[in-house]
Amino acid sequence: MTSPARPAAVVVLAAGEGTRMKSDTPKVLHELCGRSLVGHVLAAAGRLEPAHLAVVIGYQRERVAAHVTGVDARVVTAVQDQQNGTGHAVRCALAELPDLDGPVVVLNGDTPLLTAETLQALVSTHVEAGNAATVLTASVPDPTGLGRIVRNADGRVQRIVEHRDATAEERTIAEINSGMFAFDAKHLRSMLDRLTTDNDQGQEYLTDVLGLLVEDGHPVAAMVAPDYRETLGCNDRVELSALRALLRDRLVTAAMRAGATVIDPASVWFDVDVVLGRDVVVHPNVQLRGATVIEDRAEVGPDSTLIDTKVGAGATVVRTHSNQAEIGPEATVGPFAYLRPGSVLGRKAKVGTYVETKNATIGEGSKVPHLTYVGDATIGEHSNIGAASVFVNYDGVNKHHTTIGDHARTGSDTMFIAPVNVGDGAYTAAGSVITEDVPPGAMAVARARQRNIDGWVERRRPGTAAADAAAAARRVASEEGTVE
């Protein structure tokens, strides 16, 4: 970004509690699509590459400070001890910053739909027009509670009047103050010193800076937001859910425009950092969270939640919960699979139904089809793990590793008591409890030999249906001459 449109500072106001959220968590820390409210604002602000990025904190300041500096290390926090108004809040921020020259952008911490493009346009408009202040405005369906833009007969911005201070006539104005501004630093600083508390709330209103600038003959203008939704703030959890749905629509639309098929956009949720390739298909009820990446032609869902998971090209993932896993190209997962952190599936690997994996590498073409727990394991290529097997990794104190070679065939209901190794091409018999290494190519049998006690049911359970069935079977067998 070139220097003229690079702000001297962006100030984000986030000192409020957000009473109407009815929450122990400060409003700006509430989450949508993988970021906090203020995290979305900081992401857009950061793209302007301001010389200074300040956040005004007050309510639960330690918690908010830790969060915002974690989101962006460039953030400087400014404490506003008492909520004396938006103007006072900006004054607190400027007190933490060196003497500024050039544009200062002021934003609210609760407007997550604001885009960097609109912010950049606001700053460019402001700089090119040589304004003392430029306010981002919009016409919203319901302006109740918001500040209104008062223009003169020529259409020039005169001042902003708060809803609660407005006359009935002023309340009919549809154009509202988004709370987002670009100011000239010098003019802002001098006018902040002239704010009064002569209003219904007895607070220092930032909005009054515009009226003061106009009075002194400085150029003040408005830029109308390209989409009013970008200006929407969040006051309660109903608005939060509406904002989340709008953001979801934006993210899903972008994925579809980039070549993904989304069968039911209203039932899928993407976080902002999710990346989908071409010809990906997303079925209903899918959540893609964190840094999840879905590569070309992969199919996800229905009913899957993937967190920080990479899905390789052409893979299919059905009814699966996955966290920090890597699914190879053309692999198949689910239905009803649970991939936990450190699960790495090779090309064409299969993790089937009622299978849980953790810290496990499953090599190319290997299959774990049914009812199995694979924890702390390395499985080579083209091996098959029998149904209902358990990689017994935990001795009650420590976790241990199991290694299975290539082209192994382990029987159903095998318990691998880690640490243990099964060599290339080895087999295990169904029902085996494997406590010792199995050499390559060996068949391990580790189970009790079967013993049949003839006639037990008729002797020990006489009169039961089982005994009757046994007696009938014995008669048939003896008529056929198969039993003496």
* Nearest residue to the partner ligand UD1, using Cβ: 147
Distances (CA, A) of 22 to 26, 30, 236: 9, 12, 8
106 touches, from ligand UD1, Ca ion, none (C-beta below 5 to 8 Å by class): none
- Distance (Å, whole) CA 175 – CA 332: 53
Shortest distance, position 106 Cβ to ligand UD1, whole Å: 9
Assign 406 to helix, strand or coil: coil
* Cα separation values, 219 from 124, 162, 213, 215, Å: 15, 21, 7, 10
Please report how close the Cβ of residue 367 comes to ligand UD1 at its closest, in angstroms: 53
Amino acid at the residue 335? P
Least Cβ distance, residue 113 to Ca ion (angstroms) = 14
Report in angstroms the alpha-carbon separations of 130 from 119, 126, 179, 212, 418.
17, 6, 20, 17, 72
Spatial contact of 69 and 75, defined as CB atoms under 8 Å apart: yes
Contact residues for ligand UD1, defined by CB under 6 A = 13-16, 56, 80, 83-86, 88-89, 108-110, 146-147, 160, 162, 176-179, 205-207, 233
Whether 370 is catalytic = yes
In the list ligand UD1, Ca ion, none, the entry touching 330 (Cβ below 5 to 8 angstroms by class) is: none
Catalytic residue among 30, 126, 218, 370: 370
The residue number whose beta carbon is nearest to Ca ion equals 233
Question: Is the Cβ of residue 50 or residue 233 nearer to Ca ion in the bound state?
Answer: 233
CB of 108: closest distance to Ca ion in angstroms? 7
Say how many Å lie between the first and final Cα of the chain, rounded.
Answer: 96
CA distance 136 to 15: 21
Instruction: Give me the residues that bind Ca ion (CB under 5 A), please.
Output: 233
Q: What is the dihedral of CA 187, 193, 196, 201, to 10 degrees?
A: 90
Separation between Cα atoms, residue 103 and residue 184, nearest integer Å: 5
Phi, psi angles (nearest 5°) of residue 221: -145, 170
* Closest to ligand UD1 by CB, 23 or 267: 23
Structure tokens at 342: 């450190």
Report in angstroms how near the CB of residue 395 gets to Ca ion at its nearest. 56
Alpha-carbon distance of 326 to 308, in angstroms, equals 9
- Per partner kind, with CB cut-offs from 5 to 8 A, the member of ligand UD1, Ca ion, none near residue 80 is ligand UD1
**What sections of 130-207 are H helices per DSSP?**
185-192
Q: Compute the residue count for the chain.
A: 484
- 233/277 with CB nearer Ca ion: 233
Give the catalytic positions in this structure: 370
